[in-house]
Structure 1
Amino acid sequence: MKKSLVTIAILGCLAYLTGCSESHADAPAQQVQAFKQPIDVAAVKEYPVQTWFTYTSRLEAMEFVQLKPRVSGNIAQVNFEEGQQINKGDVLFTLDERPFMVKVAELKAQLASAKAQLSQAKNDLKRADRLLASKSISQEEVEHRRSLLAQHKANVQATKAKLDAAELDLAYSKVKAPINGVVSRAELTKGNTVQAGVSLLTHLVSDDYVYAYFDINERTWHQQFNQLKGDKTTQVVMQMLGEQGFNHGGVIDFVDNRIDIETGTLRVRALFRATDQLKPGAFARIRVAADDVKQHVLVPEKAIGTDLKNRFVLVTDEQNVLQYRPVTLGDRYGQMRAITQGLQAGDKIAVNGPARVGPGMPVAPQLVEIEPEHASLVMTKQAVKALLVAKRGE
């Protein structure tokens, strides 16, 4: 009887110890499962992209005029408001016309006198010809009168030319706008004396289109843009100082005919429709896309880490464990970066990179979507056409 009780007691102790050991063995696995780091994970995708090149420029008006008088005189009137929209032919400054009118009147009188002298010379020559027929006058006298007639003809022509010049000066006393555009402030105002071709009156700029010149280095030209022509078929986008995106669309309308041997660059010009934001002289950044379109995986910049040798991303495997994956970077597109080697479409990466996690760490993935926003991946004619139409307000 005692042996049976002892045996039962021993078996009970063994069962208790076995249960304790099993519960302690399951605890680490449960703790590991409980403390998996939750992170955002996204399946990467491929996109068609082009290589973009960015250049700096200063905007220039298509037409720029430093308005100077063509005659000297005193300013009698300023006929515009500063910053006003003006049309070609508008009178901007009026000079005192009286000296020019006096000169015109004087030359008209001289022309009338010259014409009267010419008429008299013609009559004298006719009379001399009749007298010569009856031998009442010498041949020498006839030739003299013929010479006087030629002199009076020349005098009439010279006086006419002086009168034309005086009338032209009178017309130039009204200083007109040679182009359509916007006028600057008046550098000289009423009462000032101006000198022909010297005194600066104001500035005019055209306001329909603006130019942006930039220089492409010779190596890039031959590798990426050797088919580029100034035929308005190549699109570009532009960013103004202080803007976040490249929101202005334009076209290449000029490629220089030679490479500058001193700088090793080729001058190129882009044409943009002018708006209130696009002022001549403004700083701008021009982006031009290479002709070739390629497929590349795009990932957020923040997903990329750096160690001593490589750029890398963290990829989740089938067990939801992060794995180190070295990658080769391509161009940047907004907040996204092209990956040329190391990733394939469908690979799942840690969106926020190695900020809080590292290789070999088990994680609790939370699937999210990543899409390139506000970034130009491929330049299309339709996109640029839409931008240009928007600028026209059509």
Structure 2
Amino acid sequence: TTLEKLIAKEKLSDSIDREQRTQIIYELLDEVLGLGPLEQFLRDPSISEIMVIGTDKIYIERTGKLVLTDKKFASDKQLMTVIERIVAPIGRRVDESMPLCDARLQDGSRVNIVIPPLALDGPMITIRKFSEKKLSVNDLINYGSLSKEMAEFLKICVTLRKNIIVSGGTGSGKTTLLNIISSFISETERIVTIEDSAELKLQQEHVVRLESRPANIEGTGEIPIRKLVINALRMRPDRIVVGECRSGETLDMLQAMNTGHDGSITTVHSNSPRDTLNRIETMVLMSGMELPIRAIREQIKSAIDIIVHQTRFSDGARKIVSITEVTGMEGDIITTQDIFKFQQTGMDSTGKILGEYRATGLIPTFAEESKTKGIRLNLDIFK
């Protein structure tokens, strides 16, 4: 190749072995055609996130743990060139007038970019990689993310068209779990998915994918999630799956769930099932509709059936820590009951979290409904 001829011409081949020569060629190609020092991390399937802080620090997340690598950018200019290569293909720009940007790589990986003056330590890049591996519910069971009984229960909930909220903190695996739960939807149904950045990988035949659009350079043309949720109602959906509810679209989602579009699924960023309900209440208020708190809670109680809460533990493991049913209201308070919980028992010498999944012994209130619909619900899983 041209690069090999260049190395030979400069008489570098005498001082380096074949492996070093190959590495130099790869690094040159990454620099000329790719994203420089980030390329090797993008190629590594064991890495889930890449975090750049200025020119000197590149962190990666591998198996749930953060690691500082020895790779660096040579200069601010090199780093800004990489940023330009990320945003240019999708028609975005990053400069002092627009120092924040969300983008997506060609493989679907999500990218967030912040540059000075907002980023005090130099340009910052955060990449959440798009996993090409399609995980199944059996994979999650093998990873210890949930039990067989919990998986069986979630499948029944989807079959019974229960409205499900997947909740959890940042990096807890909400989108992955949303994918798994959505895989239980029948092949015969029309599914409309709505996301900020397309990450869902539903395998059913009849899937309609919608993606929101940010404002252009002139500050116009934005199509937010909320507008897509409203539009989805006109598309004859059997199921609506929203990647994440963050703001006023939550009210439209609740209204959809309450007006015949049952079996819908979304995610909410929260710290517990109770916090999930509080967050939903707050996000409904963000819609601009001046509704009484009691009316909002009535909507939430009527719309949401199940909250599946997931946590990332200190050892990097992601586990469903509770499956909670919304049962009704007592006074002005929404009532719930835990159906399954993860009980942590300790930690081994390597820092691995120890514990077990337990049924609480409580039977979901819709157990009778499954009988009338001819869907077998094995009550033994709740013992």
Interval of TM-score (by shorter of Structure 1 and Structure 2):
under 0.3
Higher strand share: 1
TM-score with structure 2 length normalisation?
0.19
Look at both structures and tell me which one has the larger radius of gyration over its CA atoms: 1
TM-score with structure 1 length normalisation?
0.19
